[in-house]
Amino acid sequence: MNTPLVSLTNAGKSYQQLDALKSVTLDLSQGEVMGLFGHNGAGKTTMMKLILGVISPSRGSVEVMGMAPDSKEAWHCRSKVGYLPENVSFYEQLTGLEVLTYFAKLKGFNKKQAVDLLEQVGITHAMKRQVKTYSKGMRQRLGLAQAFIGEPKLLLLDEPTVGLDPIATRDFYQTVDQLKSNGSSVILCSHVLPGVEQHIDRAMILSTGQLLAMGTLKELRQQAALPVAIKPLGLNGSVAADTKLNSFLTSHCPDTLMVPEDEKLAVLKQLLSHDALDDIHVEAANLEQVYQHFLSLHENKQQSSKQQGAQG
């Protein structure tokens, strides 16, 4: 694999009293899509700002396309980076086309590209209207069109699917897949988790400025060692009678077996031996559960360290 497009080495950012981002090491290669997850104030936006070069790291180093993004040399790289901020309300009194033309010109493109991009995100019909008449979803599409200007090599998207309807969300993920296949890298920042899983290569979980976990979804699942939920239908109590199976039943979901990943197949085979079985649902832990797991692990750790501190 060639040199990473984005590389953070022990990068951190502190404001007066607050460690917004403690220490993050990360390499993002070309064509990789990474999901960045965390609560509000977890340091997601700070990390994006560091990569964008809007702020400089307090420690460690940040490199984008081989240069520090806050340096003068990195100037021309900026037209190769697209960014969608979390809360942006564009110039309300301008039309969608005027807004996008302004941003396109600043990146060295012209009105024609702006029109094409508006078509791509599906708001051609509204491009002559003032932004203040736009719905939340249309504003978000305009923001995305802005981020897509000039087919960026690196895209940083902060909450890209907020306010989008299911169809627009699907279109958006299609665009991400397309950009990825063209060799662009994408960092998706979100706390809305469903739907994002099949589009990201790696996930990174942040909390209060700290890196909790990073890896592919499979790796994270393994690390978390979360059980698979298996729900057999039509067995009516014979599961509880089966000594091989009843140990997996939990009190709060009496019809569902919570099975560790490595025992999944054995349990399935056992279930199939029951003739009364009508149907079977197998659900691996999803990203949301993995995320919850790492967060609660972190919280427990913090609490116990606090208690230790109180005792000591």
Partner 1 sequence: MKQILTVANKEFHDGLRNRWLVSITLIFALLSIGLTYFGAAASGAVGVTSLSTTVASLASLAVFLIPLIALLLSYDSFVGEQESGTLLLLLTYPLSKSQLLLGKFLGQGSIIALATFIGFGSSAVLLYFQLGDSQIFTSFSVFILSAILLGLSFTAISYLISLSVSEKSKAAGFALITWFLFALAFDLALLALLVGVEEGISQSFLTQLMMLNPADIFRLVNLAGLDSSDVNGALAVAINASLSQGQLFSALLAWVALPLTVAIFIFRRKKL
Cβ closer to partner 1: 4 or 53?
53
Cβ closer to partner 1: 80 or 274?
80
- Least distance in Å: CB of 77 to partner 1? 8
- Least distance in Å: CB of 8 to partner 1? 17
Size of the site for partner 1 (CB under 8 A): 28
Pick the binder of partner 1 from 10, 25, 93, 110 (CB under 8 A): 93
Q: Are 208 and 42 in contact (CB under 8 A)?
A: yes
236 is a site residue for partner 1 (CB under 8 A): no
Longest distance between any two alpha carbons in the chain, whole Å: 71
SS (H, E, C) the chain: CCCCCEEEEEEEEECCCCEEEEEEEEEECCCCEEEEECCCCCCHHHHHHHHHCCCCCCEEEEEECCECCCCCHHHHHHHHEEEECCCCCCCCCCEHHHHHHHHHHHCCCCHHHHHHHHHHCCCHHHCCCEHHHCCHHHHHHHHHHHHCCCCCCEEEEECCCCCCCHHHHHHHHHHHHHHHHCCCEEEEEECCCCCCHHHCCEEEEEECCEEEEEECHHHHHHHHCCCEEEEEECCCCHHHHCCCCHHHECCCCCCCEEECHHHHHHHHHHHHCCCCCCEEEEECCCHHHHHHHHHHHHHHHHHHHHHHHHHC
Task: Provide the mask over 49-88, with x wherever binding to partner 1 is found by CB under 8 A and - wherever it is not.
Answer: x--xxxx-------------------xx-xx-x-x-xxxx
Stretch touching partner 1 by CB under 8 A, among 103-111, 258-266, 267-275, 292-300:
103-111
10 is a site residue for partner 1 (CB under 8 A): no
Pick the binder of partner 1 from 107, 191, 199, 298 (CB under 8 A): 107
- Least distance in Å: CB of 131 to partner 1? 10
Cβ closer to partner 1: 13 or 202?
13
Number of H helices, E strands in the chain: 9, 12
Cβ closer to partner 1: 53 or 227?
53
- Least distance in Å: CB of 88 to partner 1? 4
- Least distance in Å: CB of 252 to partner 1? 43
Cβ closer to partner 1: 154 or 220?
154
- Least distance in Å: CB of 196 to partner 1? 23
Q: In sequence order, what are the beta bridge partners of 61? A: 9
Stretch touching partner 1 by CB under 8 A, among 46-54, 111-119, 177-185, 246-254:
46-54
129 is a site residue for partner 1 (CB under 8 A): no
18 is a site residue for partner 1 (CB under 8 A): no
Dihedral over alpha carbons 196, 198, 200, 203 (to 10 degrees):
70
Pick the binder of partner 1 from 9, 27, 67, 105 (CB under 8 A): 105
102 is a site residue for partner 1 (CB under 8 A): yes
